């Protein structure tokens, strides 16, 4: 309800609905009345027309029947039948009329029956007439009168009932129309009152808030940007008021910012002016420097030319070094093959010395075993000596005994003598064996000493031979290292050759760049000249800006924020 | 004095109430109205055949889980009764009506059925007037129109019997006038001559002057009677009494005339149904009918058609529901959007006017108290 739009829509919708309702009720009333009147009128009209037609046909049929009775012409008889068929057709049409009650239908049935009776009566009369019985024919024809009267009465009753029904219906419709008319008037008055109330309500809803809004905007127009309390008002105007307040607030912020910025601009404009002058001076300096750079670039281009000839010499020297390195590599290969040959001779000598040392070692072992046998021989001699000594003791003991048993001991004395002899011979043998053993020991000791000396010499020779082989091995390794180095030198020389080529190309590129640099330098110099001109322009602008800032400060000083 | 015709409606109402009460409240039956001259030889087979069909359907489980029940009234063949019965059935629980049997009663009641607050469809088994064609969207019929009967009889008289001149004696109601008009138009069109067109109303009628004139004229070769069976017998009796031995032709109103004695011999009757037809469905129907109603005569066209209509309604209610409008719509689709129903009277379907599609008329001859097929159209 707070929205002006909703109020307008609501009010308008209510008005439209009421007007629509009024119109619908009116239209409905008119339509229903129209339909009822149309239907009833149509039924009554059709009923009256049909009833009248039926009455008329009946009269015609009677006339035709009477005509045949009088004249006997076939045309009248045929007409009588045709009119009868038409009468039955009208009866069926009457039966199909809308709004007929069961009583009406029964009445129509009676009319049809009476119609049949009339026709039968006249048909019999005609037959009797044809048979030449006019009196009987007349009597028969007269029998048609009661049903004819009944038909007329029934039709009259039907018409009257229809008319009464229409009158009743008309009264009912009149009452309905009066009620509908009252309802329409009531709806119209309600719509009118509601419309006036809605209009007043809407105008009031707009007018008061609008006046407050006008006052607020007037005050803002005068420069008073302080917030305004607009009070309660419809949604749209509330939004408008809030927008005005927001606008004032924004304007307040803007003015504040403008003042602040104006001050800053004013301060900055001075600095800007000074800086632009410095910039102009810097531009002149840059021009000079660029001129210098340009001349150095020309020199650089000349140096590059010189560098190109140096690179050409280097390329030739590198090519020569590559050839020497190849020769060195070949020479190293040859030294290695000679060293390999001598090393194999030394390896063979070392093998022969090894075999000799094995033989000497084997002789030493044999001498050690001989020494052992000499020692065992010395032990044997010692045991023999021990036996000879025991034999000597035994001989002494035998001599002593033989002396005590002198008379009986001559045998013993002989044995003792023998033993003494044997002991003496053993002693001599032992002494001889001891001399041989000593000689043998002395000789063995001499042989052992000789072998030890020989072994020492062999070991010395082996050591010298091993040292010679090691020296040769070192020579081979040195030669291999020289070969590898020579190959590396060849590879390095090739890479150096390539690098020198690349360097020459780069030098050419540097030359082109130097030329472009010179052109750019010229362009930069021109730009610097333009910049200098622009800087002077900026300096003039800064001065104008400063003046504008001053004026802006003067303008915003009127706002109340 | 006790009058069975007056008490018949009361008895039928009591029977209906008892039938409805016996069905209980939990599963209310679907009520089908039946109206016609039920105490008349024409209408009695309608009620018998209707009961037979309802019993068959209920024995098979009913329709949509509900039993069928008949609410039947005897209109005595009188239009006023027909109108009152139509008002009663329209206001009741019936979902559809079978009836009425005569064109006059059917036309009188049709406006009531169609104009009810909740309109109800009616299907007439035997009303043949051409006027029924234009009687509204709520009326259907399962018999050929008088145009078909009149056409078949005229052709049979002219071509079959080689007769050139005749007299038409017609009951002066919707039925009689319809047959008369169709016959006269067709016979004249075939080159024949109609010498007399004489109306009557009573039953039996006094046709003396007309028959005497015919006799006096001496040129009439046959009598065409457009009335019901008692009226026709009265006319034949009078004609024979006057010495008129000419052939008698009649419309379907004369059905069953073979049961009326030797006077009916030689009569030619047009019919939309004959119990002597040898189709399996008809044989089964006739056998069951005779077993159940051994004291009645053979079923006639209104009876056989009523039997078919009950089964047709069961199918339509099963498919469309029990709302009156839905049943009407369902009936209007039979034979066009939906397949025709094949009954004992032949295939049943409806055209846009509610008339039977593919109408077929048989011509039978009465010989020695029995009917014999004479021709087909």
Helix (H, G, I), strand (E, B) or coil at A14: helix
The residue behind tokens 């130097």 is A514
Q: By three-state DSSP, how is residue A561 classified?
A: coil
Count of structural domains, chain A: 2
User: What b/e string do you get for B334-372 counting C-beta neighbours within 10 Å, with b at 16 or more?
Assistant: bbeebebbebbbbbbbbeeebbbeebbbbbbbbeeeebe
- Give the pLDDT confidence score for residue A123 in this predicted structure: 94
* Chain A CB contacts of B87 below 8 Å: 102
What CATH class does B146-271 carry?
Answer: alpha beta
Domain end call among A214, A229, A261: A214
For residues B366 and B265, the answer to whether their CB atoms sit within 8 Å is yes
State which residue of chain A sits closest to B173, comparing Cα positions. Answer: A116
Residues from chain B contacting residue A109 (CB–CB below 8 Å): 79-80, 83, 104, 108
- Tell whether A171 and A303 lie within a shared domain: no
Cβ contacts below 8 Å, chain A against chain B, sum to 69
CA-CA distance, B200 to A475, in Å (whole number)? 166
Pairing of strands B165-171, B139-141: unpaired
Contact B157, B374 (CB under 8 A): no
Q: Which residues on neighbouring strands pair with residue B69, listed in sequence order?
A: B31
Do A261 and A130 have their domain in common? no
Q: A197 and A301 share a domain? A: no
Q: Is residue A423 part of a domain?
A: yes
> Do A124 and B209 lie within an 8 Å CB cutoff?
yes
Q: Residue B107 and residue A119: Cβ atoms within 8 Å?
A: no
ipTM: 0.79
Q: Are B282 and B275 in contact (CB under 8 A)?
A: yes
Asked if B209's CB is within 8 angstroms of A127's CB, the reply is: yes
Mean pLDDT, range B29-56, rounded to an integer? 94
Q: Kindly state whether B17 is in contact with chain A, defined as any CB-CB distance less than 8 angstroms.
A: no
B291 three-class SS:
helix
Cα A377 to Cα A433: distance, rounded to the nearest angstrom: 9
Q: What are phi and psi of B72, to 5 degrees?
A: -120, 150
**In this predicted model, what pLDDT tens digit does every residue of B3-41 receive, in sequence order?**
444 444 455 555 555 555 554 444 799 999 999 999 988
Q: Which residues of B touch A123 (CB under 8 A)?
A: 198-199, 210
> Which residues numbered 169-188 in B keep a CB inside 8 Å of some CB on A?
172-174, 177, 181
The predicted pLDDT at position A267 comes to: 78
Contact A106 B198 (CB under 8 A): no
- Helix B301-320 vs helix B324-333: angle between axes, to the nearest 10 degrees? 110
Chain B positions in Cβ-Cβ contact with residue A154 (cut-off 8 Å): none
Q: At what angle do helices A4-71 and A145-221 cross, to 10 degrees?
A: 160
Residue A235 covered by a domain? no
* Cα B273 from Cα B125, distance rounded (Å): 11
Report the SS3 class of residue A232: coil
pLDDT tens for residues B83-134?
999 999 999 999 999 989 998 899 989 989 998 999 999 999 999 888 889 8
A56-88: string of b/e by CB count within 10 Å (b at 16+)?
ebbebbbebbbbbbeeeeeebbebbbebbeebb
Tell me B6's DSSP state. H
Q: Which of A329, A321, A331 is nearest to A492 (CA)?
A: A321
CATH of the domain at A149: 1.20.120.1730
Does B87 sit within 8 Å of A102, measured CB to CB?
yes
Residue A518, classified by CB atoms within 10 Å of its CB into exposed (0-12), middle (13-18) or buried (19+), is middle
Around Cβ B119, how many Cβ atoms within 10 Å? 17
Query: And the tokens for A148?
Result: 């004819």
Q: Which residues of B touch A82 (CB under 8 A)?
A: none
Say how many C-beta atoms besides its own lie within 10 A of residue B179's C-beta.
32
Which among B80, B177, B181 is the nearest to A109, CB-wise? B80
Residue A228 lies in a domain: no
- Closest partner CB to A120 (pick from B131, B172, B177): B172
Tell the CATH topology of B4-144+278-348.
Rossmann fold (3.40.50)
CA torsion angle for A200, A205, A207, A209 (degrees, to 10)? 170
Peptide bond into B100 cis (omega under 30): yes
Check the CA dihedral A80-A119-B206-B264 and report its sign: positive
Q: Is B245 an interface residue toward A (CB < 8 Å)?
A: no
In this complex, do A81 and B173 lie within 8 Å of one another by their Cβ atoms? no
Of A85, A96, A120, the CB nearest to B200: A120
B111 touches A at CB < 8 Å? yes
CATH code: domain of residue A493 = 1.20.1270
Distance from CA of A124 to the nearest CA of B (A): 6
The CA radius of gyration of chain A, in Å to the nearest whole number, is 83
Reduced to 3 states (helix: H, G, I; strand: E, B; else coil), residue B344 is: coil
Mutate to test the interface with B, among A120, A139, A151 (most CBs of B within 10 A): A120
Instruction: Kindly list the strands in the beta sheet with B68-74, ordered across the sheet, starting from the edge strand earlier in the chain.
Output: B68-74, B30-36, B96-98, B122-124, B139-141
DSSP B61: T
In a domain, A237, yes or no: no
CB B248, CB B275: distance < 8 Å:
no
Average pLDDT of span B241-256: 93
What is the nearest CA distance from A131 to chain B, expressed in angstroms? Answer: 6
| Nearest Cβ partner for A131 among B83, B108, B212 | B212
Angular region, A99: left φ>0, alpha ψ -120 to 50, beta rest = left
Looking at the fold, whether A133 and A68 belong to one and the same domain comes out as yes
Residue B350 has pLDDT above 90, yes or no: yes
Cross-chain Cβ contact B172/A95 below 8 Å: no
DSSP helix/strand/coil, B91: helix
Res A293: pLDDT: 66
Which residues in chain B touch residue A120, judged by CB atoms under 8 angstroms apart? 172, 199-201
Closest CA to B233 of B211, B205, B213, B208: B205
Q: Between chains, do B107 and A92 touch, taking CB under 8 Å as contact?
A: yes
Please count the residues of chain A. 561
Q: Cβ–Cβ of B79/A81 closer than 8 Å?
A: no
Contact B199 A119 (CB under 8 A): yes
Distance (Å) from the C-alpha of residue B231 to the closest C-alpha of chain A?
A: 15
Mapped onto helix, strand or coil, the DSSP state of residue B342 is strand
Which residue of A lies nearest to B87 if distances are taken between CA atoms?
A: A102
User: What would the 3-class secondary structure string for B175-242 be?
Assistant: HHHHHHHHHHHHHHHCCCEEEEEEEECCCCCCCHHHHHHHHHHCCCCEEEEECCHHHHHHHHHHHHHC
A131:B213 CB<8 A = yes
Please name the member of B83, B174, B199 whose beta carbon is closest to the beta carbon of A105. Answer: B83
Q: In the listed set A186, A214, A242, which residue is the last one of a domain according to the structure? A: A214
Tell me whether residue A87 is in a domain: yes
- What is the Cα–Cα distance from A238 to A361, expressed in whole angstroms? 131
Range of the structural domain that residue A284 is part of: 253-556
Of B84, B174, B210, the CB nearest to A127: B210
> What was the pLDDT predicted at A435?
75
CATH fold match for the domains B4-144+278-348 and B146-271: yes
Asked whether the beta carbons of B377 and B363 are under 8 A apart, the reply is: yes
Q: What are the chain A neighbours of B108 within 8 Å (beta carbons)? A: 95, 105, 108-109
Distance between CA atoms of residues B265 and B316, nearest Å = 42
Is residue A70 located within the same domain as residue A199?
Answer: yes
Contact call for A116 and B197, based on CB within 8 A: no
Residue B126 confidence (pLDDT): 92
Token readout for B219 is 């040129």
Based on the fold, state whether residues A261 and A200 are members of the same structural domain. no
Q: Residue A403: what pLDDT?
A: 65
With CA atoms as reference, the chain B residue closest to A130 would be B213
For A73-96, the DSSP string reads: -HHHHHHHHHHHHHHHHHHHHHHT
What is the rounded distance in angstroms from the CA atom of residue B169 to the CA atom of residue B189?
19
A236 in any annotated domain? no
CB-CB under 8 Å, B216 with A119? no
* B131 contacts on A by Cβ (under 8 Å): 92
Structure letter (DSSP) for residue B352: T
Judged by a CB distance cut-off of 8 A, whether residue B210 touches chain A is yes
Give pLDDT, residue B23: 47
Q: Exposed, middle or buried by CB within 10 Å (0-12, 13-18, 19+), for B10?
A: exposed
The stretch B222-234 carries a mean pLDDT of 94
Q: A92, B131 in Cβ contact below 8 A?
A: yes
Residues of chain A short of pLDDT 50, as ranges, are none
Q: Do residue A171 and residue A270 come from a single domain?
A: no
**Would you give the distance in Å from CA B330 to the centre of its chain?**
23
Q: Does B75 touch chain A (CB under 8 A)?
A: no
Q: Shortest CB distance from B112 goes to which of A105, A112, A124?
A: A105
Nearest residue of chain B to residue A78 (CA atoms): B197
Distance from A92 to chain B by nearest Cα, in Å? 8
Q: How far apart are the C-alpha atoms of B176 and B372, rounded to whole Å?
A: 24
* Residues A146, A280 share a domain: no
What is the residue extent of each domain of chain B? Answer: 4-144+278-348, 146-271
Q: Could you read off the pLDDT of A102-114 as tens digits, one per residue?
A: 778 788 888 888 9
- Chain A nearest-CA residue for B196: A127
A480 and A551 belong to one structural domain: yes
Nearest CA in chain B to A88: B174
Task: Tell me the CA distances in angstroms from B308 to B214, B296, B354, B357, one per residue in order.
Answer: 42, 19, 16, 15
Distance from CA of B315 to the nearest CA of A (A): 31
Contact A252, A225 (CB under 8 A): yes
HEC sequence for A298-327 = HHHHHHHHHHHHHHHHHHHHHHHHHHHHHH
Compare CB distances from A116 to B198, B201, B213 and report the shortest one's residue. B201
Query: What does the CA dihedral A397, A399, A405, A411 come to, rounded to 10 degrees?
Result: 110
Is 50 exceeded by the pLDDT of residue B1? no
The B268-271 sheet, strands edge to edge: B193-200, B165-171, B222-226, B248-250, B268-271, B362-367, B370-376
Residue of B nearest to A106 (CA): B80
Domain for residue A135, yes or no? yes
Q: Please give the DSSP secondary-structure letter assigned to residue B35.
A: E
Which range is least confidently modeled, A20-24, A323-327, B150-154, B356-360?
Answer: A323-327
The answer to whether residue A234 sits within a structural domain is: no
B-chain residues near A100 (CB < 8 A): 111, 115
Please tell me the distance from the alpha carbon of residue A53 to that of residue A72, in angstroms, as a whole number.
26
- More confident site: B224 or A177: B224
């Amino acid at each position: 309800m707070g929205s002006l739009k909703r109020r307008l829509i609501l009010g308008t919708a209510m008005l439209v609905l009421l007007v629509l309702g009024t119109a619908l009720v009116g239209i409905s009333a008119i339509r229903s009345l129209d339909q009822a009147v149309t239907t009833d009128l149509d039924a009554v009209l059709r009923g009256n027309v049909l009833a009248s037609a039926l009455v008329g046909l009946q009269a015609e049929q009677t006339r035709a029947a009477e005509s045949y009775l009088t004249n006997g012409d076939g045309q009248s008889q045929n007409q009588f039948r045709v009119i009868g068929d038409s009468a039955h057709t009208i009866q069926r049409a009457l039966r199909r009329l809308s709004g007929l009650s069961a009583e009406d239908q029964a009445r129509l049935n009676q009319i049809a029956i009476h119609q049949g009776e009339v026709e039968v009566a006249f048909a019999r009369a005609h037959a009797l007439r044809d048979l030449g019985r006019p009196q009987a024919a007349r009597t028969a024809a007269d029998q048609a009168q009661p049903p004819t009267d009944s038909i007329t009465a029934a039709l009259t009753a039907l018409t009257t009932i229809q008319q009464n029904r229409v009158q009743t219906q008309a009264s009912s419709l009149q009452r309905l129309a009066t009620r509908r008319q009252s309802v329409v008037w009531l709806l119209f008055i309600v719509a009118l009152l509601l419309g006036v109330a809605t209009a007043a309500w809407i105008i009031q809803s707009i007018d008061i808030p609008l006046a407050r809004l006008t006052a607020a905007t007037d005050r803002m127009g005068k420069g008073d940007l302080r917030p305004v309390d607009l009070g309660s008002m419809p949604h749209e105007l509330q939004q408008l008021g809030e927008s005005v307040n927001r606008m004032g607030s924004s304007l307040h912020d803007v003015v504040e910012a403008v003042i602040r910025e104006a001050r800053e601009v004013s301060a900055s404009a001075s600095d800007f002016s000074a800086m632009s002058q410095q910039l102009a001076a810097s531009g002149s300096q840059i021009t000079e420097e660029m001129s210098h750079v340009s001349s150095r670039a020309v020199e650089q281009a000349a140096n590059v030319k010189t560098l190109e000839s140096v690179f050409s010499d280097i390329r030739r020297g590198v090519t020569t070094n590559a050839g020497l390195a190849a020769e060195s590599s070949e020479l190293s290969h040859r030294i290695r093959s000679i060293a390999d040959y001598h090393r194999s001779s030394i390896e063979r000598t070392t093998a022969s010395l090894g075999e000799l040392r094995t033989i000497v070692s084997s002789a030493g072992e044999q001498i050690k075993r001989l020494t052992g046998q000499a020692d065992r021989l010395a032990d044997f001699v010692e045991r023999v000596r021990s036996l000879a000594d025991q034999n000597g003791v035994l001989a002494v003991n035998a001599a002593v005994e033989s002396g005590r048993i002198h008379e009986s001991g001559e045998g013993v004395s002989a044995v003792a003598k023998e033993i003494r002899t044997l002991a003496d011979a053993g002693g001599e043998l032992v002494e001889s064996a001891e001399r041989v053993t000593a000689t043998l020991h002395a000789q063995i000791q001499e042989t052992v000493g000789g072998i030890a000396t020989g072994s020492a010499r062999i070991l010395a020779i082996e050591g010298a031979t091993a040292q010679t082989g090691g020296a040769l091995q070192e020579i081979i390794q040195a030669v291999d290292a020289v070969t590898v180095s020579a190959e590396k030198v060849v590879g390095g020389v090739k890479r150096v050759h390539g690098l020198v080529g690349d360097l020459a190309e780069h030098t050419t590129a540097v030359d082109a760049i130097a030329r472009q640099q010179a052109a750019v330098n010229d362009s930069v110099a021109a730009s610097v000249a333009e910049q200098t001109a622009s800087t002077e322009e900026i300096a003039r602008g800064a001065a104008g800006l400063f003046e504008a800032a001053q004026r802006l400060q003067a303008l915003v000083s009127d706002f109340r924020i | 004095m006790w009058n069975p015709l007056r008490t018949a409606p009361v008895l039928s109402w009591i029977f209906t109430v008892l039938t409805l009460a016996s069905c209980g409240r939990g599963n209310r039956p679907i009520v089908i109205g039946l109206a016609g001259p039920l105490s008349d030889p024409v209408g009695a087979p309608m009620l018998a055949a209707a009961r037979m069909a309802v019993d068959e359907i209920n024995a098979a489980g009913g329709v949509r889980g509900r039993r069928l029940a008949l609410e039947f009234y005897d209109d005595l063949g009188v239009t006023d009764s027909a109108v009152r019965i139509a008002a009663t059935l329209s206001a009741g629980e019936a979902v559809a009506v079978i009836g009425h049997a005569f064109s006059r009663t059917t036309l009188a009641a049709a406006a009531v059925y169609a104009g009810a607050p909740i309109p109800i469809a009616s299907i007439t088994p035997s009303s043949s007037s051409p006027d029924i064609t234009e009687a509204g969207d709520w009326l259907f019929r399962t018999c050929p129109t008088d145009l078909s009967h009149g056409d078949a009889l005229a052709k049979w008289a002219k071509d079959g019997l080689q007769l050139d001149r005749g007299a038409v004696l017609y009951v002066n109601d919707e039925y009689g006038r319809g047959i008369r008009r169709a016959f006269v138009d067709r016979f004249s069109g075939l080159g024949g001559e109609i010498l007399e067109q004489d109306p009557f109303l009573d039953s039996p009628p006094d046709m003396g002057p007309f028959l005497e004139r015919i006799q006096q004229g001496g040129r009439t070769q046959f009598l065409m009677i457009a009335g019901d069976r008692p009226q026709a017998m009265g006319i034949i009796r009078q004609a024979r009494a006057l010495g008129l031995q000419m052939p008698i032709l009649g419309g379907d109103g004369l059905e069953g005339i073979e049961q009326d004695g030797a006077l009916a011999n030689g009569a030619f009757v047009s019919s939309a149904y004959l119990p002597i037809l040898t189709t399996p469905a008809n044989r089964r129907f006739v056998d069951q009918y005779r077993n159940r109603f051994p004291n009645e005569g053979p079923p006639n066209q209104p009876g056989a058609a009523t039997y078919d209509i009950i089964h047709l309604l069961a199918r339509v209610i099963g498919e469309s529901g029990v709302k009156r409008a839905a049943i009407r719509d369902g009936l209007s689709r039979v034979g066009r959007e939906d397949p025709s129903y094949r009954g004992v009277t032949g295939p049943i379907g409806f055209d846009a006017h509610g008339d039977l599609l593919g109408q077929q008329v048989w011509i039978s001859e009465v010989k020695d108290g029995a009917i014999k097929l004479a021709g087909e159209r």
